[in-house]
């Protein structure tokens, strides 16, 4: 495919998608001749996707059952919450099921937030929506410090800005850094109780092979009722197309959100999936896939760190943030990978906090796919001139 035509067309699509990259579906529709071999842009779990597809074929082998899902209204959200709360580890009164994590973010910020403090870099939806619904201020993490959070500096900013909402992502997107549970507890003990603390745990399943080692705060709602935990299920189970997520909140906040609607906000296929993930037999088959996904992601992160002239930040999620030393290099690498190798990765130059950082976020998939992408990256880099790296 012609490089210049792809580049100009890609940027037109990017301009219409805001701070998000064009989806693979959008790219395919716009460029039918583009052969994308590897989607390392959007975050998923391909092995879990295959497992869900297998169960879909089994469960809907009878067309009559699929017809019911397509033609009938799904279960009402509150009723479904009562049914599925145990499998998600949340009390029914604290569970707010949503059409993807994005709906939870929008609902919470619209209802509860006027002054929001957002830790950068992060998932840009938080900053954009907080700015739409009120005043937002950034607390920036530094790439020179591998994006580690300084809790004392954050507490000082809270005291000066006096927000009503604080947003943290753990592990953080796009760098994959983790905030330890001890740090989170220290923050919560010193933060005013009036402050809503939103912790996005969409990648928490990738932090450790042992679930009891995850740095989750979801179980702390009774102790810290100002907490709100947001979770996308797409990253774990590879079902981004179904748009499934939830928020775990105080009973009072859940009640307020339900007053805003959300009666039938989940479609029938999302309802089917939620019931599927609640089955112990499904979880038994999913668990080794989750653990393998962690091993594949860690290996890929180590391999990025071994590439000369590229900085790869430590990651405890299913993606890596890699930084290039020269202006314009990240964009050039991204376009060359897409056009010449069919490898789609996320350019992070539109993320607040990374505008000039020359970073790409690279999603981990199967080990074979990761090695394919790694080889493509090395071939692309070999064509670039090699002046000395200039990382700050």
pLDDT (tens, 9 = 90+) of the chain, 392 residues, equals 677 787 788 888 888 777 788 888 888 888 888 889 999 999 999 999 999 999 999 999 999 999 999 999 999 999 999 999 999 999 999 999 999 999 999 999 999 999 999 999 999 999 999 999 999 999 999 998 999 999 999 999 999 999 999 999 999 999 999 999 999 999 999 999 999 999 999 999 999 999 999 999 999 999 999 999 999 999 999 999 999 999 999 999 999 999 888 888 999 999 999 999 999 999 999 999 999 999 999 999 999 999 988 999 999 999 999 999 989 999 999 999 999 999 999 999 988 889 889 999 999 999 999 999 999 999 999 987 665 555 55
Residue 285 token pair:
């088959």
Residues 189 and 303 in one domain: no
In a domain, 156, yes or no: yes
Residues 290 and 227 in one domain: no
- The residue among 226, 250, 278 that closes a domain is 278
User: How many angstroms separate the CA atoms of 290 and 222, rounded?
Assistant: 29
- The residue among 242, 260, 278 that closes a domain is 278
Residue 262 burial (CB count, 10 A): 18
Is there a contact between 155 and 187 (Cβ–Cβ < 8 Å)?
yes
Is there a contact between 299 and 369 (Cβ–Cβ < 8 Å)?
no
Residues 25 and 111 in one domain: no
Residue 240 burial (CB count, 10 A): 18
- Output the pTM of the full model: 0.93
Among the listed residues 117, 127, 130, the one whose alpha carbon sits nearest the alpha carbon of residue 156: 117
- The residue among 261, 278, 295 that closes a domain is 278
Residue 198 CA neighbour count, 13 Å, CB half: 30
Residue 161 token pair:
């800005």
In a domain, 193, yes or no: yes
3-state secondary structure labels for all residues of 52-76:
HHHHHHHHCCCHHHHHHHHHCCCCC
Residues 237 and 113 in one domain: yes
CA angle, residues 125, 130, 131, in degrees to nearest 5: 105
How far is residue 264 from each of residues 82, 268, 359, measured CA to CA in Å?
15, 10, 39
CATH number at residue 92: 3.40.640.10
User: Whole domain around residue 333: which residue ranges?
Assistant: 3-50+283-382
The beta-carbon contacts of 375-378 under 8 Å, at least 24 apart in sequence, are 376/38, 376/337, 376/341, 376/343, 377/307, 377/333, 377/337, 377/343, 378/307
User: How many angstroms separate the CA atoms of 117 and 214, rounded?
Assistant: 25
Residue 20 CA neighbour count, 13 Å, CB half: 15
Q: Is the peptide bond before 392 cis (omega within 30 degrees of 0)?
A: no
Is there a contact between 88 and 221 (Cβ–Cβ < 8 Å)?
no
Residues 205 and 353 in one domain: no
Strand-pairing partners, residue 222, are: none
Residues 29 and 142 in one domain: no
């Amino acid at each position: 495919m012609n490089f210049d035509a792809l580049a100009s067309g890609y940027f037109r699509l990017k301009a219409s998608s805001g701070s998000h990259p064009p989806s693979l579906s959008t790219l395919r529709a716009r460029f039918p001749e583009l052969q994308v071999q590897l989607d390392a842009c959007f975050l998923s779990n391909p092995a879990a996707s295959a497992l869900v597809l297998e169960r879909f074929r089994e469960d809907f082998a009878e067309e009559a059952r699929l017809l019911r899902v397509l033609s009938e209204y799904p279960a009402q959200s509150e009723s479904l919450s009562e049914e599925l709360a145990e499998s998600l580890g949340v009390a029914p009164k604290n569970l707010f099921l949503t059409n993807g994590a994005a709906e939870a973010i929008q609902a919470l910020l619209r209802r509860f937030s006027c002054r929001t403090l957002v830790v950068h870099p992060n998932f840009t939806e938080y900053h954009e929506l907080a700015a739409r619904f009120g005043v937002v201020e950034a607390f920036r993490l530094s790439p020179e410090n591998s994006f580690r959070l300084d809790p004392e500096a954050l507490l000082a900013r809270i005291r000066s800005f006096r927000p009503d909402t604080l947003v943290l992502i753990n592990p953080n997107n796009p760098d994959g850094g983790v905030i330890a549970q001890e740090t989170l507890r220290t923050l919560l003990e010193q933060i005013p109780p009036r402050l809503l603390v939103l912790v996005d745990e969409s990648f928490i399943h990738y932090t450790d092979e042992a679930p009891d080692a995850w740095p989750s705060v979801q179980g702390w709602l009774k102790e810290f009722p100002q907490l709100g935990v947001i979770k996308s299920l797409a990253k774990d189970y590879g079902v981004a197309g179904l748009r499934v997520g939830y928020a775990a909140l105080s009973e009072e906040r859940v009640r307020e959100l339900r007053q805003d609607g959300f009666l039938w906000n989940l479609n029938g296929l999302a309802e089917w999936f939620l019931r599927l993930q609640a089955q112990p037999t499904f979880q038994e088959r999913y668990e080794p896939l989750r653990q393998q996904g962690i091993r594949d992601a860690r290996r890929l992160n180590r391999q990025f760190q071994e590439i000369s002239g590229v900085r790869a930040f430590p990651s405890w999620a299913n993606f890596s943030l890699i930084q290039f030393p020269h202006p314009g290099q990240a964009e050039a690498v991204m376009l060359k990978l897409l056009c010449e190798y069919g490898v789609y990765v996320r350019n992070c130059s539109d993320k607040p906090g990374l505008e000039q950082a020359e970073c790409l976020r690279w999603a981990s998939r199967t080990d074979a796919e990761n090695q394919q992408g790694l080889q493509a990256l090395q071939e692309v880099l070999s064509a670039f001139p090699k002046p000395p790296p200039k990382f700050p």
